[in-house]
Structure 1
């Protein structure tokens, strides 16, 4: 499974992060699409996920994030990979 952040920011006063996940089987994508509460979409062989965060939890709001953006993106991608992997264990 490969998780990539494709976009992040603020939209309609909500902080969001868009993830693109590849390397999943169609049954894994269907399982995630049905069982996750977040906004999800299957686009061919890519699973897309949009998560919303309040200001307190949004990972890209700090000043440190602006100076070490690549580190923050990599950490978020790893954390989402771990989350999805553990979620798929229930499949």
Structure 2
């Protein structure tokens, strides 16, 4: 599974992060699409997820994040990979 952040920022009064996930079999993408509460979609072999955050939980809000954005993006991609892997374990194993 490869997780990449494709977009982030403000949408009206909300903060969001969009992720693109590749390398998943279609049954795992369908499971995530059906069972996650976030906004999700599947396009060909890519699973997309859009998450909204309260300002205090938004991962890119700090001054440090603005200076070291690449580090914060990489960390957030790793955390999403771990979250999705954990969620997929509920499917009965990966």
TM-score with structure 2 setting the length: 0.96
The separation in 1 between residues aligned to 2:24 and 2:49, in whole angstroms, is 13
For structure 2, list consecutive stretches of 5 or more residues without a partner in the other structure. none
The separation in 2 between residues aligned to 1:31 and 1:14, in whole angstroms, is 27
Equivalences, count: 91
For structure 1, list consecutive stretches of 5 or more residues without a partner in the other structure. none
**Structure 2 residue matching 1:56: 3-state secondary structure:** helix
**Structure 1 residue matching 2:65: 3-state secondary structure:** helix
Q: CA deviation at 1:89?
A: 0.4
1:54 and 2:54 matched: yes
Q: CA deviation at 1:12?
A: 1.4
The separation in 2 between residues aligned to 1:55 and 1:18, in whole angstroms, is 16
The separation in 1 between residues aligned to 2:59 and 2:73, in whole angstroms, is 9
User: Runs (4+) of structure 1 moved beyond 4 Å?
Assistant: none
Q: CA RMSD in A?
A: 0.3
The separation in 2 between residues aligned to 1:90 and 1:59, in whole angstroms, is 26
